[in-house]
């Protein structure tokens, strides 16, 4: 199997990567399998799995997913409890937009031995939360303030800092269930100043939304909530990523 990060890196400037984000807490057994089946038929590149609140480990959900598709499963952990050796990789998230030391380095130290022993492919990821209307689950759970969307210079400087610190992926997030996706101008500015692959998620409700962020420079598109409501839309969204050019 091609390494996860290698696939993302090689796609830069040539194609886009589409990721389905699954929060197991939002699914029944049947709805999860239906969504995975649609992702498989649409040839999604990766399945991200995780959430702000989980009532059980991810092991069972990951095993179920992998029984029904060959799409690589990547952990998108909301806490230390969301590390599973059954996945293929993990976004080792550092929430660099905030100043909560636990999410900058504290939890990483606590999880380091467990992650190393898991055999997962580890992708160091600079996670940048961008503010919008209301308070997102990420903002509330992480006890950090997002960077205001109008502060493009600060968002860009934060992304540059992530690159200089040795992160391998920049992730711009407007928050789970956000009313609006990350603005294309923010994406363009970050892409102009940072050479790392750029992932964008949160607030993407339609293929048109996906098209706009792809044109702005997103390398990796992450969609979750909209596809929980309408799993069939994943086909149109992946079609957009296949045809979009930077």
CATH number, residue 70: 3.20.20.390
Checking if the pLDDT of 244 tops 80, the result is no
Inter-residue contact 12 to 27 (CB < 8 Å):
no
Inter-residue contact 129 to 161 (CB < 8 Å):
no
**Cα torsion through 200, 79, 46, 161, rounded to 10:** 40
Checking if the pLDDT of 18 tops 60, the result is yes
Place of tokens 């957009």: 240
Condensed to tens digits (0 to 9), the pLDDT of residues 203-238 reads: 999 999 999 999 999 999 999 999 999 999 999 999
Give the confidence band of 245 by pLDDT, cuts at 50, 70, 90: low
Dihedral of CA 111/228/66/202: which sign? negative
Checking if the pLDDT of 246 tops 50, the result is no
Q: CB count, 10 Å around CB of 191? A: 22
Mean pLDDT for the chain? 93
CA distance 86 to 244: 32
Inter-residue contact 233 to 208 (CB < 8 Å):
no
Question: How much is the pLDDT for 141?
Answer: 84
In the chain, how many domains are there? Answer: 1
* Structural domain range at position 109: 4-243
Checking if the pLDDT of 139 tops 90, the result is no
């Amino acid at each position: 199997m091609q390494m996860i990060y290698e696939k993302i890196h090689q796609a830069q400037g040539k194609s886009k990567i589409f990721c389905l984000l699954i929060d197991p807490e939002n699914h029944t057994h049947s709805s999860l399998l239906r969504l995975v089946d649609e992702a498989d038929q649409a040839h999604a590149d990766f399945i991200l799995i995780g959430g702000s609140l989980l009532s059980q480990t991810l092991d069972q959900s990951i095993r179920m997913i992998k029984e029904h598709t060959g799409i690589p499963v990547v952990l998108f952990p909301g806490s230390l409890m969301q590390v599973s050796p059954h996945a293929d990789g993990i976004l080792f998230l550092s929430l660099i937009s905030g100043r909560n030391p636990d999410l900058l380095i504290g939890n990483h130290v606590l999880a380091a031995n467990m992650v190393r022993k898991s055999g997962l492919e580890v992708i160091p990821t600079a996670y940048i939360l961008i503010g919008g209307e209301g308070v997102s689950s990420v903002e509330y759970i992480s006890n950090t303030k997002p960077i205001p969307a109008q502060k493009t210079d600060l968002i860009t400087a934060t992304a540059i800092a992530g690159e200089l610190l040795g992160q391998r992926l920049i992730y711009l997030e407007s928050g789970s269930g956000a009313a609006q996706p990350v603005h294309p101008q923010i994406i363009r500015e970050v892409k102009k100043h940072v050479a790392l692959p750029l992932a964008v998620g949160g607030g993407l409700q339609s293929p048109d939304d996906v098209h706009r962020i792809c044109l702005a420079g997103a390398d990796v598109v992450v969609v979750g909530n909209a596809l929980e409501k309408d799993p069939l839309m994943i086909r149109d969204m992946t079609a957009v990523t296949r045809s979009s050019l930077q």
